[in-house]
Amino acid sequence: MKRTRFLLGTISGLTLAARSDSLFGLAIAQPVLPGNGSAVAERVLVVVNLQGGNDGLNTIVPHGSPAYYRLRPSLAIAPSDVLAIDREIGFNPKMKSLKSMYDNGLVAVVQGAGYPEPDHSHFRSTEIWQTGVPERIENSGWVGRFLDESKLPESNLFNAVAVSPVLPQVMIARSVDVPAIESLSGYGLESDRNASERSAYSSVLRNGRMPFNSPYLATVAEIEDHAQRGSEQLPKLVAGYRTSASYPATGIGRSLALAAQIIGSKLGTRVIYVQHGSFDTHVSQRTPQDRLLGELSDALKAFYDDLAAHGNDKRTLTMTFSEFGRRVAENASRGTDHGEAGPMLLVGGGLKGGVYGQHPAFDRLDNGDITYTTDFRSVYATVIEKWFACPTEGIIAGTFPTIAALG
């Protein structure tokens, strides 16, 4: 969503056009990155938000660490159940599908992702991960700023899509209005009963000379206009796509099925957001977290099967994030409280699978929490620079080393 006035948008649009020629030039001059075989302009990022703070230690399990078993008498996953990557770590037993993808080189695990002076509030930490700005309050999302910098065609209503009921902060951009589409079936005007009503609908949205002023007026009119045109276009644009996988009947399964359909329909979509959760497991953690991780793993498998059948797996990169990991020691309720660093997963046919970053160090806990070893902005910077071949300037403040999983 473009959360700004029309006037502002126009001015910034001009500025953008004036200064981003070089950016655009870069994408044209280097259309194919070596080793990946996919044109940069066709690449897609799927961002998966594991809402509520996913417990990283029961996701990528440190089954070689006695401290893990000592601090989690009832919650620890038995070594024999862990889907071992090596003698130190392995996947949660419910993540069989993802483990098989890992074995095929399609998954990169980034250990210890976090940021300095971690915040234990869901809301502030979610904001930090979504904006990519820990230092201060920022409105725009890091993906939003990437979209702004990418000089995408304004006429395309699907430059990015959020598969969610409301627009997440990560997608808030200045010059690109991102539609939030929960499902295809609910995305349309049922009321377009006749041509005369339809044509009147779009013209009554035009502001004209309003007898009042409201800070929301232009935004509302713009989103209503995009909703009408977008919902008219989208079903036609994706109608030709045939799903080639059987997705699990879960929320994340349905969301990724829609993502594959949008990607496969080649609408010029660069980023898709989906969400999964809640992972806020203060109480009796094992059952709900295992279920959610199993759902994620099975849905990702179906997603990449579907993408691969249409030749889209190499141009689609998936990245998970969660606002924080959880405390190392379990609490009295067989759950875990808000913690700090946790793993991120990168999935796709265009990356170098493996484990990146340092494993959680139990001898260096920060008040009982895992200390971060990879700044999450390193992962964002990697995606921006190596996946999208875009400079991070204007998107990520500061310089962060990239991760070798890409590029």
Please, which of residues 122-141 interact with another protein by CB under 8 A? 122-124, 133, 138-140
Q: At what angle do helices 21-29 and 6-19 cross, to 10 degrees?
A: 50
Q: For another protein, which residue of 49, 59, 65, 219 counts as binding (CB under 8 A)?
A: 219
CB 269 within 8 A of CB 161: yes
User: How many residues at the interface with another protein, by CB under 8 A?
Assistant: 75
* Site for another protein, residues 220 to 239, rule: CB under 8 A: 220-221, 223-224, 226-227, 230-231
Distant-in-sequence, close-in-space partners of 127: CB < 8 Å, separation ≥ 6 = 137, 169
Please tell me the distance from the alpha carbon of residue 89 to that of residue 158, in angstroms, as a whole number. 39
Please tell me the distance from the alpha carbon of residue 374 to that of residue 358, in angstroms, as a whole number. 8
Nearest 5°: the CA angle 265, 268, 273 is 85
Nearer to another protein, 121 or 358 (CB): 121
Instruction: State the binding string over 320-359 for another protein (x if CB under 8 A, else -).
Output: -----------xxx---x----------------------
* Site for another protein, residues 181 to 210, rule: CB under 8 A: 181-182, 186-191, 193, 195-197, 200-201, 203-210
317, two tokens: 């990169």
Stretch that binds another protein, among 39-47, 143-151, 258-266, 368-376 (CB under 8 A): 143-151
Instruction: State the binding string over 70-99 for another protein (x if CB under 8 A, else -).
Output: ------------------------------
CB 337 within 8 A of CB 288: no
Residue 314 in contact with another protein, rule: CB under 8 A: no
Name which of 246, 26, 271 is nearest 144 in CA terms: 271
Stretch that binds another protein, among 77-85, 162-170, 252-260, 368-376 (CB under 8 A): 162-170
Nearer to another protein, 110 or 227 (CB): 227
Q: For another protein, which residue of 8, 23, 33, 84 counts as binding (CB under 8 A)?
A: 8
